[in-house]
Amino acid sequence: MKPTILVADDEPSILLSLQVLLQKAGFLVRIARDGEEAMAALEESMPNLILLDAMMPKRDGFDVCQTIRANPAYKDLPIIMLTAKSRDVEREKGMALGATDYITKPFSTRDLVSTVRKYLEHGQT
């Protein structure tokens, strides 16, 4: 069975691009356009990995990440945060709130797909 990736971002361009590229890479892709949609999608069925944008309407990525980690059922779910915030302290914050990795925009989609593969193969470690 193909692994499922939940992509949460409010930017339609990147959402569409990641959807196309991840599907081409052999993943099932579900999308969410804000923090609340992301939580709803998660509750519906657990994905194998989440690509989570930090700045989203309704609930930001940090909040979503913290809520997910508060639930022991999602303890081992890899969460990769995508963000335009480049300061070290933002990265620190993302990692402290439970992100598995933190990728700063703009990024290479090829590298991103490799990173996704890596976490799916090896888990959070």
Partner 1 sequence: MVTNVSNSKHGHLGEEPHTPASSAPSSERTGKRVVALLFIATGVTAAAAAAVMPVLIAGDNGQPLAQQEGAVLAGLVAGTAALLWFAVLLCLLRPGERLAADVHLLANSKAGNGRVDPEDYPDLAPLPDAINALAERLATSRRDLDRAIVDTARCQAEHSSRLAAVLRDLDEGVMVCNLDHQVLLLNPAALRLLHAGEAGETGSGAPLPGRALFSLMLADPVCHTLDRLSRRGSGEPTQPGPSARFIGGTPDGHVLLDGRMSLILDDGPPVAAEATVTGYVLTFTDATRELAALGRRDALLHATTEALRTPLANLRAVMETLEDCPDLEGEARTHLEAAMLGECQALTARLERITEQYRATIVGTWPMSDLRSHTLIDLVRHRIAGRRNIVVTPAGMPCLLHGDSFSLVVLLDHLVEQVSLVTGATAFDLAADAAARWTYLDLSWAGERVPGTTIDRWKTESLAATLGGLTVGDVLRHHRSDLWSEAQPDGRARLRLPLPPAEEPAEAAPRPVPDLIDPSSFPAHQQPPPATDLASRPLQDLEFVVFDIEATGANPIDGDEIVAIAAVRVVNRRILTGETFQALVNPGRPISPEAVRRHGITAQQVHNHPNITTILPQFKAFAGNAVMVGHHAGLELAFLRLREHACGVRFDNPVLDTRLLSLWLQGQNADHSLDGVARRLGIATIDRHTALGDCLTTAAVLVAMLELLPDRGLATLGDVLREADKLLAFDAKESLL
Residues engaged in binding partner 1 (CB under 8 A)? 11-14, 16-18, 20-21, 24, 55, 82, 84-86, 104-110
- 2 or 75: CB nearest partner 1: 2
Report, in Å, the least distance between residue 55 CB and partner 1: 8
- 4 or 109: CB nearest partner 1: 109
Report, in Å, the least distance between residue 10 CB and partner 1: 10
* Torsion 110-51-77-27 (CA) sign: negative
Token pair recorded at residue 57: 């309407």
Residue 35 near residue 8, CB atoms below 8 Å: yes
Query: Judging by beta carbons within 10 Å of its beta carbon (0-12, 13-18, 19+), is residue 43 exposed, middle or buried?
Result: exposed
Report, in Å, the least distance between residue 68 CB and partner 1: 23
Report, in Å, the least distance between residue 74 CB and partner 1: 26
Query: Judging by beta carbons within 10 Å of its beta carbon (0-12, 13-18, 19+), is residue 49 exposed, middle or buried?
Result: buried
If residue 6 lies in a helix (H) or strand (E), which one and from where to where?
strand 4-8
- 12 or 26: CB nearest partner 1: 12
- 15 or 97: CB nearest partner 1: 15
